[in-house]
Amino acid sequence: MSLFVASVCTSTVVQAPIDRAFQVFTEGMPGWWPSDHHILEGDLAKMVFEPRVGGGIIDHGVDGSQCTWARILAYEPPHRLVFSWDISTQWKYEPDPEKASEVEVRFVAQGPDRTRVELEHRELQRHGEGWENMRDAVGSPGGWPGVWDAYVPALSA
Amino acid sequence: MTTYQGQALAALADSTRREIFERIAERPRAVGELAATLPVSRPAVSQHLKVLKEASLVRDLPAGNRRVYQLDPDGLDELRTYLEGFWNRALASFQAAVEQPMKEDR
């Protein structure tokens, strides 16, 4: 409970079977993760999700560069996924795992075609100095480019 | 420019202070208890607690003849608000993808 201060919890319910919800969230991540939210210097060519513990989430740049910005720490289809958030407060790759936070995603079946997805981004205290730079680099909380919001009208009621 | 939030994260940039913060995050603790389990002196722990307190990360309450430190919920608010917005948008995007059969590839 008191740890909540250093974590963020959010959730959603989707109209999809648990197996599909897990598969789309993991291997299907390149299909919904906004393509302009990466930490490469140049443009993003593709994103790869390696579906196994020890794998990574890797951004590949059009210039041949690549960045593994997350390490898969738990991969338990179709119920649970944990990955590290190796992104510093400068919005750069963070090579020190001590300064990485982590994201846990849990999938709970609420029926044959209905799944609750719970997400917790925790250990935020591991991020060091300079948070305001990260914030300024990507704009105000409402200032994210509209690619996220473009999906919203497509949501079913 | 030193912001309120910047002060909080600067306080946590020190590994001993981060350790103290994490122990207090587990449950409220007194100075003596923290000093007994850390490789630093009691005055040093008190000094670290002072920095954490000034950054609004912890606050202290009297408990009998000692003071017990607990988390101050205001300290990491800005970072939390930011990431909350980020993940809510991400989940909305995920929801749209998962509810559109056969369209998640690109």
pLDDT at A1: 33
DSSP 8-state class, residue A99: G
Chain A residues near residue B104 by CB distance under 8 angstroms: 24, 28, 31-32
| Collapsed DSSP state (helix, strand, coil) of residue A129 | coil
CB contact (8 A) between residue B94 and residue A25: yes
**A110 min Cα distance to partner chain B (Å):** 15
**A138 min Cα distance to partner chain B (Å):** 10
Chain A residues near residue B5 by CB distance under 8 angstroms: 131-132
pLDDT in tens, chain A (157 residues): 334 457 788 888 999 999 999 999 999 999 888 666 677 777 888 999 999 999 999 999 999 999 999 999 999 999 999 999 998 766 678 888 988 889 999 999 999 999 999 998 888 777 765 554 444 444 334 333 332 333 233 333 3
Q: Taking chain B, what is the end-to-end CA distance rounded to the nearest angstrom?
A: 43
| DSSP letters spanning A71-85 | EEEEEETTTEEEEEE
Chain B residues near residue A15 by CB distance under 8 angstroms: 99
> Which of B67, B1, B96, B48 shows the shortest CA–CA distance to A25?
B96
| DSSP letters spanning chain B | ---HHHHHHHHHTSHHHHHHHHHHHHS-EEHHHHHHTSSS-HHHHHHHHHHHHHTTSEEEEEETTEEEEEE-TTTTHHHHHHHHHHHHHHHHHHHHHHTSTT----
**A80 min Cα distance to partner chain B (Å):** 15
Determine contact, residues B5/A130, Cβ cutoff 8 Å. Answer: no
Chain A residues near residue B98 by CB distance under 8 angstroms: 14, 16, 20-21, 24-25, 28, 32
Of B83, B84, B89, Cβ closest to residue A148: B89
Instruction: Give the type of residue at B69.
Output: Y
DSSP lists the bridge partners of residue A114 as A111
Instruction: Give the type of residue at A47.
Output: M
DSSP lists the bridge partners of residue B60 as B69
* Residues of chain A numbered 74-93 and touching chain B (CB < 8 Å): 89
> What average pLDDT does this structure show over B12-39?
87
pLDDT at A144: 34
Bigger pLDDT: B30 vs A33: B30
Taking the Cβ of residue B63 and every Cβ of chain A, the question of whether any pair is shorter than 8 Å is answered with no
pLDDT at B13: 77
CB contact (8 A) between residue B98 and residue A141: no
Chain A residues near residue B61 by CB distance under 8 angstroms: none
From A55-59, A123-127, B8-12, B94-98, the region with the lowest mean pLDDT: B8-12
pLDDT at A40: 77
pLDDT at B38: 92
> What average pLDDT does this structure show over B66-91?
78
Taking the Cβ of residue A3 and every Cβ of chain B, the question of whether any pair is shorter than 8 Å is answered with yes
